[in-house]
Amino acid sequence: MSNLLLENVSVDFPIFGANKNLRLSLLSGLTGGRIIPNRLQKQTIIIKALENVSLDLREGDRVGLIGHNGAGKSTLLRVMAGIYHPTSGRLSVQGRLTPLLDIAPGLEPEDTGYDNIITVGLLLGMSLPEITAKLPGIVEFSELGDFIHLPMRTYSSGMMARLSTSIATSIDPGILLLDEGIGAADARFGEKIARRMKEMVERTEILVLASHSEALLGSMCDKAALMHHGKLLEFGSFETVQKAYHRVLQEG
């Protein structure tokens, strides 16, 4: 059984190399989390990106992360992914975790599309036999044809997006952490991607999706979590949280 548990998780970011002016301007106009001058080390400032976030996600949960820019959505995803270790609090993950925050880490323009599928697949945590088994499917879905044997630098940006999304959506994710902005491909391919995304989401045990688009969240999630200045304001059914989000938008 998959489970994703956060208990009172806080995350502080040290900002290195911020000069005094930048520090002052950061302190005056906050957009993100809360900024706290670090008393011990005057030269670094600390951004409180997450404060006491507690969440308990179970198998079958489809959770949308909602909130304005800098509210802590991406940071929260990265904490769940084990990238940022909580400054305080506790994270516990049971099950196989697949973060798709950056759609294809490690794409190399000099390598062929074919080589890149293997490299990225390995980096996404697939094994070599697993990739080999999925390769024909990925190639076919990307509609790249013989271009798959050419270096990626010869691809158009649409072709590149098609390849990276084809790889990313081929995995069996377990717990899937998804940051928005997937599939900047052409319109026809966009539909195809949407369908394939849906299929992938159906294979997931837990989905956490961060996005600004309420339509996207509404179509994929039944629950939602509202982030505001690094705090979790509300967690519950998508409709309730959506209302709370609108309230926050009006107030703020």
**123 contacts other proteins (rule: CB under 8 A):** yes
Q: How far apart are CA 140 and CA 149, in angstroms?
A: 13
Rounded to whole angstroms, what are the CA distances from 154 to 59, 121, 150? 42, 21, 7
Q: How far apart are CA 67 and CA 210, in angstroms?
A: 9
Binders of other proteins in range 13-32 (CB under 8 A): 13-14, 16-17
| Direct distance between the N- and C-terminal alpha carbons of the chain, in angstroms, rounded to an integer | 40
Choice between 102 and 140, CB closer to other proteins: 102
Residue from 129, 188, 202, 251 that binds other proteins (CB under 8 A)? 129
**Per-residue contact flags (x/-) with other proteins for residues 173 to 212, judged by CB under 8 A:** -x--------------------------------------
Binders of other proteins in range 143-172 (CB under 8 A): 172
Q: How far apart are CA 117 and CA 138, in angstroms?
A: 8
We find the least distance from the C-beta atom of residue 117 to other proteins, in angstroms, to be: 12
Binders of other proteins in range 63-122 (CB under 8 A): 78, 81-86, 89-94, 96-97, 99, 101-102, 105-106, 108, 110-111, 115, 118-119, 122
The DSSP output letter for 86 is: P
Residues 69/55, Cβ–Cβ less than 8 Å: no
Q: Which stretch in 10-18, 24-32, 61-69, 208-216 sits in contact with other proteins by CB under 8 A?
A: 10-18
What is the amino acid identity at position 70? G
